[in-house]
């Protein structure tokens, strides 16, 4: 069970995971060693899964983001597993979610332009196993990017 101090630590780490532990401790009212111990426990318990840099896709040339609904030809364990394994193996697939509703999966891809998205569509998405239907939506504007889970928690 995590407490309010742990939640504050998690909020700070989501904003800047490179902040020195002593600075995090100061912000939450703990010594550096106590803060380090708490972070270690959060890591050990799998609450903190990993640390990563969040890249700016547009500055890397990925000017277009697409959310793609994928319907498969069936929903057997073998079909779902084959699709997931292939989707995970493709670096072009930024996210992949098994969904409820009219489509089986929602995947996120990014491309420099529509010509490159056409290539992704034909060579990557359509070639994933057991795909029977694809519907794409272009992101026109991102209003809010995911910035992490709320520090106050559930």
Cite the residue boundaries of each domain of the chain with CATH code 1.10.10.10. Answer: 4-44
Rounded distance between C-alpha atoms, residue 44 and residue 153, angstroms? 19
Q: According to the model, what pLDDT value does residue 153 have? A: 57
What pTM does this model have? 0.84
Q: Do the beta carbons of residue 69 and residue 106 sit within 8 Å?
A: yes
Long-range contacts at 45-53 (CB < 8 A, ≥ 24 apart): 47/2, 47/6, 47/10, 48/10, 48/13, 51/17
Arch. (CATH architecture) of 58-138: 2-Layer Sandwich (3.30)
Dihedral pair phi/psi, residue 11, rounded to 5°: -60, -45
**pLDDT tens, 104-135?**
999 999 999 999 999 999 999 999 999 999 99
**pLDDT tens, 21-67?**
999 999 999 999 999 999 999 999 999 999 999 899 999 999 999 99
4-44: what fold? Arc Repressor Mutant, subunit A (1.10.10)
Q: According to the model, what pLDDT value does residue 147 have? A: 79
Q: According to the model, what pLDDT value does residue 152 have? A: 67
Rounded distance between C-alpha atoms, residue 74 and residue 132, angstroms? 9
Q: Can you tell me whether residue 96 is helix, strand or coil? A: strand
Cite the residue boundaries of each domain of the chain with CATH code 3.30.70.920. Answer: 58-138
């Amino acid at each position: 069970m995590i407490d309010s101090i742990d939640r504050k630590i998690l909020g700070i780490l989501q904003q800047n995971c490179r902040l020195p532990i002593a600075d995090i401790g100061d912000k939450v009212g703990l010594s550096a060693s106590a803060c380090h111990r708490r972070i270690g426990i959060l890591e050990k318990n799998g609450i903190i899964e990993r640390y990563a840099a969040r890249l700016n896709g547009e500055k890397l040339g990925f000017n277009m983001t697409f959310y793609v609904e994928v319907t498969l030809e069936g929903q057997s364990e073998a079909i779902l597993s084959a699709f997931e394994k292939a989707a995970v193996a493709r670096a072009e697939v930024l996210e992949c979610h098994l969904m409820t509703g009219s489509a089986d999966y929602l995947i996120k891809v990014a491309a420099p332009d529509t010509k490159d998205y056409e290539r992704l569509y034909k060579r990557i998405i359509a070639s994933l196993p057991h795909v029977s239907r694809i519907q794409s939506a272009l992101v026109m504007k991102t209003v809010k990017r995911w910035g992490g889970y709320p520090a106050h928690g559930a």
